[in-house]
Structure 1
Amino acid sequence: MTITATALPKSGEEDGIVKYAGIGPLELEAGGFLPDVVLAYETWGQLNSDASNAVLVQHALTGSTHVARGATDEEGWWEQLVGPGATIDTNKFFVISINIVGGCYGSTGPSSAAPDGKPWGSRFPLVTLRDSTVAESRLADALGIDSWHAVLGGSMGGARALEWAVTFPERVERCAVISVGAYSTAEQIAFAQAQTLAIRQDPNFNHGDYYGGTAPEHGLALARRIAHITYRSALELDFRFGRQAQHQETPLAAAVLGERGRYQVESYLDHQGTKLVRRFDANSYIAITEALMSHDVTRGRGTLEAALSRTKAEFFVAAVDSDRLYFPAQSRELAAALPGDVSVHLIEAPIGHDGFLTEIGQLSAQLREAFFG
């Protein structure tokens, strides 16, 4: 098997620029097969001579690999954490972020060309988080990274980090799992199913073979609305929007239902749906959501304690106190089952689940002391 990766930069001139690596064929946990997988990734900083300063930062569900600014001034999604002089100081550490298999930011996914030259579409196989970890390990091999100084992420990124620590315990020295538990619960799977069904029931979905035609934008936008409600807390929505009408619209002054105006919170959800449609592929949304539904570090490994006993990493576990998607109780369950005495750090934010993005700076001092000092 031939693995090819873009040569590592010798300076920061390629920081934050997407690169691509072919990692060969990938046999999948559920029985599927991808014959020629490409992973898109971005890097910051420089890998040292013994490759001991490598840090893997995992993106969340619809996140990209663009964690921080680099050669361009485009803002990244964890600017508070990564960069020169930041908690993960790119003057000291070599940071990499990899687009998950199934994604639409450069890695092989449903919109990629299959061997016949046509998009995979409905033929794209089920990929689990465990599969994505195996794929990423090959990229690490190609880059000469035998072990990670740290692997970390929030939400699905945290689930991916945890899977790395369990699947390849010898390769992860430190692991930060933020705003996610050891497995997807029934409620989380239920929310996810509603989102994927919204896309599949769009008249333009065509079983996933919509490329070259009209994309299922309405279904994808609805999926995002459902998801975004779980990403924000009831308190935040009430505080920001209450029962206010959207500008001059009149929710209670319509002769028929179809002509009524919107409440502000409805307009907000419409906006979130429209934003995602502009940047994301509907099939990738399904593929990655189902990968997150598969999240369960105990699968085939016995009890939670038995599964986690495989790990050798130091752990940092954190939760958002107002999170109503991944409850802090799941983080506490994870911490209690990990070997040793692992505390749960709390991000205090009324915003809800998205606090792992917007308020990650609250953990800077603790993460620096634990992993990056």
Structure 2
Amino acid sequence: MTAVESVGEFRFECGESVPDLTLAYETYGEFDGDNAVLVCHALTGSQHVSSAPRSEDHDADAVGGSDAGKDADTGVQTAGQARAWWDDVVGPGKAIDTTEYYVVCVNVPGSCYGSSGPPSEGPDGEPWGTDFPPVTVGDWTRAQRRLLDRLGVGRLHAVVGGSVGGMNALDWAARYPDDVRRVAAVAAAARLDTQCLSLDAIARRAITTDPNWNGGDYYGADRPNPDDGLAQARRIGHVMYLSKASMGRKFGRRAAGRGAFGDAPSDPTARFFPYREVESYLDYNADSFTGRFDANSYLYLTRAMDEYDLAAGHGSDAEALAAFEGELLSLSFTGDWHFTVEQSRALAGAARDADVPTAHHVVESDHGHDAFLVEPESVGPPLRDFLADGVDGRAVRDEDEGEPVEEESRSPERAPVHASLFPG
């Protein structure tokens, strides 16, 4: 079950405060004082990282029904990819083994899966909306630290995150260098590049130009949600997550057939040209996304991702990691143009410049940014061995060693393209 914990008054990096920050989280396994692993979710992910049995050793209020699609007490929608989003990686006997590790996953502030954010109740009893303070990745890290203190967790064995969750993990190494032994940044980077910044800006504009957005004030049964804008933002995101090769293999130029999706308005020429499978895919996933996510939260979280820069306040990435005495794994995928191999290589280089034991593990894959979700056979072995043995783990292959990636860690020839949790 999802648990909800208040961590009290919280001051955000923007300088604004909330009187009572609430965090929704889940824990798996038993804590022995030295085995805690924090898993950081991606942009539109949730605390529900696994379907493994949850821990029952905390005193926070439990919230039931997280496996039922919508939480019975809070009404928070957890259907789709928000449910058990890394189930093939986290669980008993899996790469992050919940019989060995005490796994914690926290829904970040600003999101909409139970933690404080724009759709949650503010001091006046109404949803915060855009009165909620702007959030940063650093705010996520500080909120997680606050919650872990309440759970009695001091130093972490590891922090693991994918996409913007990987940025969150890197922030732990820079912000709390004595509090974590190992950091794994999967399909992540020290900052977004300009192309991704521009696409995120277009996605936000799609939301804010939807008339139903109404300046962020659309909560209430009598007010329509800005679903058109949020759906368009999601379509832009999906194009970012996939590679040319994966899109070509999955969809090609094939027509989907008339009436394949809903009642979306068509352009005047649609009667002559085909409605393609790739359009149907984008439409279907955009429609399902609007049923589970909040438009304001999307604005807040993309801003947090865009703003993150590991070097900020330090001078360089190496200086940011200089105090970290643990080990770092940077794991990248060759088909990922959202967070590229080159960006992961630069991160690994900065860590080595800071004398941090580091491995950059490159997976041959043409599935784009989604690869770390749809290829557990590629992600699992290096994560498993990194948690156990650090950068000397058997399945951890540093590209500088000139060794091939193990066969078990190769991408399958055909893997599913699905509705992922991202961008970021």
Per the TM superposition, whether the score is higher than 0.5 is yes
Superimposed CA distance per residue, residues 5-56 of structure 1 (whole angstroms, 9 cap, x where no aligned partner): xxxxxxxxxxxx20011001111112222221000001110111xx211100
After the TM superposition, which residues 280-291 of structure 1 pair with which residues of structure 2 at under 5 Å, given as runs?
280-291=293-304
Q: Does residue 1:256 correspond to 2:268, yes or no?
A: yes
* 2:386 alignment partner in structure 1: 370
What are the ranges of 5 or more consecutive residues in structure 2 without an aligned counterpart?
A: 54-65, 69-82, 261-265, 390-424
* 2:101 alignment partner in structure 1: 93
After the TM superposition, which residues 99-118 of structure 1 pair with which residues of structure 2 at under 5 Å, given as runs?
99-118=107-126
Cα distance in 1, alignment partners of residues 383 and 246 from structure 2: 27
Q: Secondary structure at the match of 2:212?
A: coil
Q: Secondary structure at the match of 1:153?
A: strand
Q: Does residue 1:323 correspond to 2:331, yes or no?
A: no
Q: Does residue 1:68 correspond to 2:68, yes or no?
A: no
Distance 1:256 1:26, change over 3 A: same
What are the ranges of 5 or more consecutive residues in structure 1 without an aligned counterpart?
A: 1-16
Superimposed CA distance per residue, residues 216-251 of structure 1 (whole angstroms, 9 cap, x where no aligned partner): 00000000000000100011111111111112479x
Q: 226, 236, 246: which is aligned to 1:226? A: 236
Report % sequence identity. 41
Cα distance in 1, alignment partners of residues 194 and 267 from structure 2: 41
How many corresponding residue pairs? 352
Cα distance in 1, alignment partners of residues 101 and 268 from structure 2: 60
Cα distance in 1, alignment partners of residues 252 and 379 from structure 2: 30
Residue pair 2:49, 2:86 contacting (<8 A) in 1 also:
yes
Cα drift, residue 349 of structure 1: 2.1
Cα drift, residue 129 of structure 1: 0.3
Cα drift, residue 185 of structure 1: 2.1
Superimposed CA distance per residue, residues 310-354 of structure 1 (whole angstroms, 9 cap, x where no aligned partner): 222211110111001111110000000003352211222221000
Q: Does residue 1:23 correspond to 2:7, yes or no?
A: yes
Q: Does residue 1:244 correspond to 2:254, yes or no?
A: yes
Q: 147, 152, 164: which is aligned to 1:156? A: 164
Cα drift, residue 131 of structure 1: 0.9
Cα distance in 2, alignment partners of residues 326 and 57 from structure 1: 19
Q: Secondary structure at the match of 2:8?
A: strand
Cα drift, residue 162 of structure 1: 0.6
Aligned AA (1:62):
T
Cα drift, residue 360 of structure 1: 3.2
Cα drift, residue 194 of structure 1: 1.0
Residue pair 1:236, 1:350 contacting (<8 A) in 2 also:
yes
Cα distance in 1, alignment partners of residues 125 and 115 from structure 2: 16
Aligned AA (2:236):
I
Aligned CA-pair RMSD: 1.8
Aligned AA (2:367):
I
* 1:43 alignment partner in structure 2: 27
Residue pair 1:249, 1:261 contacting (<8 A) in 2 also:
no
Identify which range, 206-215 or 290-299, moves more after superposition. Answer: 290-299
Distance 1:125 1:73, change over 3 A: closer
Cα drift, residue 370 of structure 1: 2.1
Distance 1:228 1:297, change over 3 A: same
Superimposed CA distance per residue, residues 45-71 of structure 1 (whole angstroms, 9 cap, x where no aligned partner): 0111xx211100011011111111134
Q: Secondary structure at the match of 1:336?
A: helix
Cα distance in 2, alignment partners of residues 144 and 224 from structure 1: 38
